[in-house]
Amino acid sequence: EAQVTQNPRYLITVTGKKLTVTCSQNMNHEYMSWYRQDPGLGLRQIYYSMNVEVTDKGDVPEGYKVSRKEKRNFPLILESPSPNQTSLYFCASSLQQGNTEAFFGQGTRLTVV
Amino acid sequence: AQSVTQLGSHVSVSEGALVLLRCNYSSSVPPYLFWYVQYPNQGLQLLLKYTSAATLVKGINGFEAEFKKSETSFHLTKPSAHMSDAAEYFCAVWGGKLIFGQGTELSVKP
């Protein structure tokens, strides 16, 4: 089954404790991205990757890191989480950029206290 | 720069009634437009997309959207709402990345 898998689904952590949210896709997609969803703001792109070893900032990259060492995986790293990073996070992948369907993971609800 | 605006953060309809969710876009080039749906506790799922082949686009679950260049709109409609349509709906435009509207939460009353 074609899917994007994120883990964990829920995470509560404390300020400053490094964490990683994993994302994996099984569709051999080149393009992957991370979004955060906040009420009234829709989804905003954090980082994206057009292929292995190619990543770039989205609209709200501050406080986040990513890596793309393999085509299927695109982890999101918060080196020192802060309460303003409490949000719902989605990983997405698509075959290419542009007019192609993006497939989304189930989401990770992160709370930073 | 491309952008989308969804009119109405909450829409409530009765079961069997027409669903109309509004989306206006801003784009200096012919746009790629999408509607996504998010059911509770799930990720987003593509409902339909505008590919410039036809102005009336049919999607899954009985939804359709009409691209109107003169009105810069891409409103989503469904003739008869079902309880299972209750979800959040996002309009999006491709502008080097997917740019989403603020979302419209649809509730369906029995």
State pLDDT tens for residues B58-78.
999 999 999 999 999 999 999
**Interchain proximity B9–A41, CB inside 8 Å:** no
Tell me the pLDDT tens digit for each residue of A30-80: 999 999 999 888 899 999 999 999 999 999 999 999 999 999 999 999 999
**Which tokens is A82 given?**
């802060």
A99, A100, A106, A109, best to mutate vs chain B, most B CBs in 10 Å:
A99
**pLDDT value of residue A31:** 94
Instruction: Determine the average pLDDT of the residues in A86-97.
Output: 93
* B28 pLDDT above the threshold of 90: no
Q: Is the pLDDT of residue B2 over 90?
A: no
Contacts of A48 in chain B (CB under 8 A): 97
**In three state form, how does the secondary structure of A32-54 look?**
EEEEEEECCCEEEEEEEEEECCE
In 3D, which of B30, B34, B17 has the Cα closest to residue B74?
B34
Closest CA to A20 of A92, A94, A84, A73: A73
What pLDDT, on a 0 to 100 scale, did the predictor assign at position A1? 85
Beta bridge partners of A79: none
Single-letter amino acid code for the residue at A19: L
Asked if B103 lies within 8 A of A42 by C-beta distance, the reply is yes
- pLDDT of B30 higher than 80: no
pLDDT tens, residue by residue, A2-27: 899 999 999 999 999 999 999 999 99
Kindly tell me if the per-residue pLDDT of B53 is higher than 80.
no
Please give the angle made by the CA atoms of A67, B103 and B34, to the nearest 5 degrees: 70
More confident residue, B97 or A43: A43
Q: How many beta-carbon pairs below 8 A join chains A and B?
A: 50
Cis upstream peptide for A8 (omega within 30°):
yes
